[in-house]
């Protein structure tokens, strides 16, 4: 069943033209290369066609650590074009490309292949090219933080293989249009052939499996019906067994599957009770799970975990916390399984609402981090939720802006996690209206259902729907490394308050306490006087605001 607000993720022709004009006119930013620009920009060779569907088919050969296969790319020509950019990273190589039964000529430029058609394709019509490829893909040295294949063994000595590609891009292991602005509107088919005795698990639903006794292989066909971001596509291979369940949610009955190694059934049965608790909390805060048609899967992998759409991967050792420790150092982090909660939050933030440009990765990670806090509030107490998010402030570095560099596939600081989560927590308390805050969180997922967006669209929605202009808040926390300082001094029966280390014109509502009496006040721009009765004793800023305070001497 389609969602009432479902809209195609395709970029409009106008926005594509604008993107191309920007890409064509800008020079390569200092510190970046032409390859960075080709990877991170909507080039002319990307702009004229819109992906409708991917059909990836590959064989994985663990003995040689190699793969071979093809990807059928179905697309619509939205503008005239006869030259196409397809991304595939070395050491993998394209061997041939077929269009309408005829082979196309192509040439390589680093991580990009330029395909040439005999002439411009018909605008408005759908076309398909099949890109054949193969080789020994890059091996991940530190998954999930480094991309590529992980060729591991499980504790019983059987092959245990997985892909990861966030940041570096899906083109590290399969050919595609590797840019976040364009996702396949009709989803994707993934057909994986592996050695007999192993099971291949990918995104979506398993719609077919077969065996080839002569070749000693098994083939697994997975289907995704919803749009999917490229880095959310994954493939996991091992001695898997499936444990089936279901969840009664806002969208009806959701099929839930746990794919674990055969010897992990008992551990998984106990630990994965976290999944329905997570779904309940996030449907409350964010609205219905975005992929009922494709199910929810939790798949055990040989690394920590990732947010692969409808195929959330898990390697947290069947324990609470983050690898068994509490990131907040408050004790609250041991009340839940970090990987189940954080990575499942990405189904809403990253997979439902997806960034157009890697510079806006904060939309994925800040909200997934903040969701941990909301999970705690839903299942435990508001006080513990506050303890958790505030406790994580010690992990903030303020080393670089959270927003990265546009057009070169460059995300911002890792502060997009803990600082981003605390920014959102601060914004909630600036608003001071929890019912509106929840309505806006749900409204974001409703309004931008299955779409790609940029920071500007997000900022505009938040300010409009909250009825509070957050533009300078976003500037402060996303675009600078400075934390605003609430500077204050006492004089004439009032606390005189103003902002230091803040962007020009910074003015926001905060909650302060004078002599133990709490009040809400908007501070700035300039000096704001907060009158009080009697003698002065204490002045405090509510702890839920990620800011610093500084008392000034009189006369400064």
pLDDT tens track for 48-72: 999 999 999 999 999 999 999 999 9
Q: What's the chain's average pLDDT?
A: 95
pLDDT at residue 8 is higher than 70 = no
Q: Is residue 418 part of a domain?
A: yes
Task: Check if the beta carbon of residue 133 is closer than 8 Å to that of residue 95.
Answer: yes
pLDDT at residue 36 is higher than 90 = yes
pLDDT at residue 4 is higher than 80 = no
pLDDT of residue 14: 39
Q: Is residue 37 part of a domain?
A: yes
Q: How confident is the model at residue 23 (pLDDT cuts 50, 70, 90)?
A: very low
Q: What is the mean pLDDT of residues 90-95?
A: 98
Q: Is residue 303 part of a domain?
A: no
Which of 453, 481, 509 corresponds to the end of one domain? 481
Spatial distance between the Cα atoms of 259 and 257, rounded to a whole number of angstroms = 6
CATH of the domain at 347: 1.10.390.10
- The answer on 404 and 363 residing in a single domain is yes
- The answer on 515 and 385 residing in a single domain is no
Range of the structural domain that residue 150 is part of: 13-238
Q: How does strand 296-300 pair with strand 312-314?
A: parallel
Task: Check if the beta carbon of residue 26 is closer than 8 Å to that of residue 56.
Answer: no
CATH of the domain at 511: 2.60.40
Which of 436, 454, 481 corresponds to the end of one domain? 481
- The answer on 224 and 372 residing in a single domain is no
| Whether the bond into 211 is cis, omega within 30 of 0 | no
Q: Is residue 115 part of a domain?
A: yes
pLDDT at residue 227 is higher than 90 = yes
CATH of the domain at 148: 2.60.40.1730
Q: What is the mean pLDDT of residues 137-166?
A: 96
Q: Is residue 256 part of a domain?
A: no
Q: What is the mean pLDDT of residues 377-394?
A: 98
In the chain, the percentage of residues whose pLDDT exceeds 90 is 93
pLDDT of residue 26: 57
Least confident span in 12-21, 133-142, 380-389 = 12-21
Spatial distance between the Cα atoms of 235 and 256, rounded to a whole number of angstroms = 18
Q: Is residue 373 part of a domain?
A: yes
- The answer on 492 and 466 residing in a single domain is no
pLDDT tens track for 235-281: 999 999 999 999 999 999 999 999 999 999 999 999 999 999 999 99
- The answer on 498 and 353 residing in a single domain is no
Spatial distance between the Cα atoms of 556 and 538, rounded to a whole number of angstroms = 20
- The answer on 272 and 167 residing in a single domain is no
pLDDT at residue 409 is higher than 50 = yes
349, 368, 345: which is closest to 452 by C-alpha? Answer: 349
- The answer on 228 and 196 residing in a single domain is yes
- The answer on 206 and 114 residing in a single domain is yes
Q: How confident is the model at residue 553 (pLDDT cuts 50, 70, 90)?
A: confident
Q: What is the mean pLDDT of residues 471-477?
A: 98
pLDDT at residue 15 is higher than 50 = no
pLDDT at residue 1 is higher than 80 = no
- The answer on 526 and 411 residing in a single domain is no
- The answer on 218 and 127 residing in a single domain is yes
- The answer on 431 and 543 residing in a single domain is no
pLDDT of residue 398: 98
CA distances from 356 to 8, 130, 173, 212 (A): 14, 25, 21, 41
Which of 481, 500, 524 corresponds to the end of one domain? 481
pLDDT at residue 466 is higher than 70 = yes
pLDDT at residue 386 is higher than 60 = yes
pLDDT of residue 7: 36
Q: What is the mean pLDDT of residues 288-297?
A: 98
Token duo for residue 231:
């880095």
Q: How confident is the model at residue 6 (pLDDT cuts 50, 70, 90)?
A: very low
pLDDT tens track for 320-353: 999 999 999 999 999 999 999 999 999 999 999 9
Q: Is residue 526 part of a domain?
A: yes
Determine the longest span between alpha carbons in the chain, in angstroms: 92
The number of domains in the chain is 3
Q: Is residue 7 part of a domain?
A: no
Spatial distance between the Cα atoms of 280 and 298, rounded to a whole number of angstroms = 16
Q: What is the mean pLDDT of residues 451-476?
A: 97
In the chain, the percentage of residues whose pLDDT exceeds 70 is 95
- The answer on 196 and 127 residing in a single domain is yes
Q: How confident is the model at residue 216 (pLDDT cuts 50, 70, 90)?
A: very high
Alpha carbons within 13 A on the beta-carbon side of 291: 32
Q: What is the mean pLDDT of residues 10-33?
A: 57
């Amino acid at each position: 069943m389609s969602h009432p607000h479902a809209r195609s993720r395709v970029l409009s022709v106008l926005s594509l033209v604008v993107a191309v004009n920007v890409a064509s006119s800008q020079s390569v930013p200092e510190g970046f290369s032409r390859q960075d620009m080709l990877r991170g920009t909507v080039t002319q060779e990307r702009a004229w066609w819109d992906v409708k569907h991917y059909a990836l088919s590959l064989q994985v050969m663990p003995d040689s650590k190699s793969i071979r296969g093809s990807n059928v790319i179905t697309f619509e020509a939205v503008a005239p074009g006869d030259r196409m950019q397809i991304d595939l990273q070395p050491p993998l190589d394209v061997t041939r490309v077929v269009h309408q039964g005829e082979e196309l000529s192509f040439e390589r430029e680093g991580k990009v292949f330029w395909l040439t058609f005999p002439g411009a394709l018909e605008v408005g019509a759908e076309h398909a090219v099949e890109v054949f490829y193969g080789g020994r893909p890059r091996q991940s040295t530190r998954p999930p933080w480094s991309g590529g294949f992980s060729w591991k063994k499980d504790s019983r000595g059987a092959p245990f293989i997985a892909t990861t590609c966030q940041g570096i891009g899906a083109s590290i292991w399969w050919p595609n249009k590797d840019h976040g602005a364009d996702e396949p509107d009709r989803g994707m088919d993934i057909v994986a052939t592996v050695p007999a005795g192993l099971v291949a698990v990918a995104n979506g639903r398993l719609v077919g499996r077969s065996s080839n006794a002569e070749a000693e292989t098994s083939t697994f066909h997975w289907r995704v019906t919803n749009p999917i971001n490229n880095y959310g596509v994954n493939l996991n291979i091992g001695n898997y067994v499936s444990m089936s369940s279901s969840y009664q949610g806002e969208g009806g009955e959701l099929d839930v599957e746990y794919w674990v190694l055969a010897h992990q059934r008992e551990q998984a049965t106990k630990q994965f009770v976290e999944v329905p608790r997570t779904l309940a909390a996030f449907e409350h805060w964010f609205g219905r799970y975005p992929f009922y048609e494709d199910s929810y899967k939790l798949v055990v992998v040989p690394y920590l975990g990732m947010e692969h759409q409808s195929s959330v991967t898990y390697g947290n050792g069947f324990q609470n916390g983050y690898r068994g420790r509490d990131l907040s150092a408050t004790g609250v982090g041991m009340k839940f399984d970090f990987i189940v909660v954080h990575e499942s939050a990405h189904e809403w933030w990253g997979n439902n609402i997806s960034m157009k440009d890697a510079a806006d990765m904060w939309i994925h990670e800040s909200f997934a981090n903040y969701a941990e806090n909301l999970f705690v509030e839903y299942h435990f107490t508001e006080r513990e939720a506050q303890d958790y998010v505030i406790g994580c402030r010690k992990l903030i570095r303020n080393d670089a802006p959270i927003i990265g560099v546009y057009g070169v596939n460059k995300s911002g600081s890792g502060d997009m996690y803990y600082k981003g989560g605390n920014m959102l927590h601060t914004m909630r308390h600036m608003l001071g209206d929890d019912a509106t805050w929840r309505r806006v969180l749900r409204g974001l997922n409703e309004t931008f259902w299955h779409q790609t967006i940029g920071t500007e669209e997000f900022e505009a929605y938040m300010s409009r729907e909250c009825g509070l202009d957050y533009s300078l808040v976003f500037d402060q926390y996303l675009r600078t490394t400075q934390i605003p300082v609430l500077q204050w001094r006492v004089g004439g029966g009032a606390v005189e308050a103003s902002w230091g280390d803040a962007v020009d014109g910074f003015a926001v509502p905060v909650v302060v306490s004078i002599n133990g009496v709490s009040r809400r006040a908007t501070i700035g721009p300039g000096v704001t006087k907060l009158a009080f009765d009697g003698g002065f004793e204490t002045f405090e800023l509510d702890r839920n605001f990620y800011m610093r305070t500084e008392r000034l001497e009189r006369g400064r």
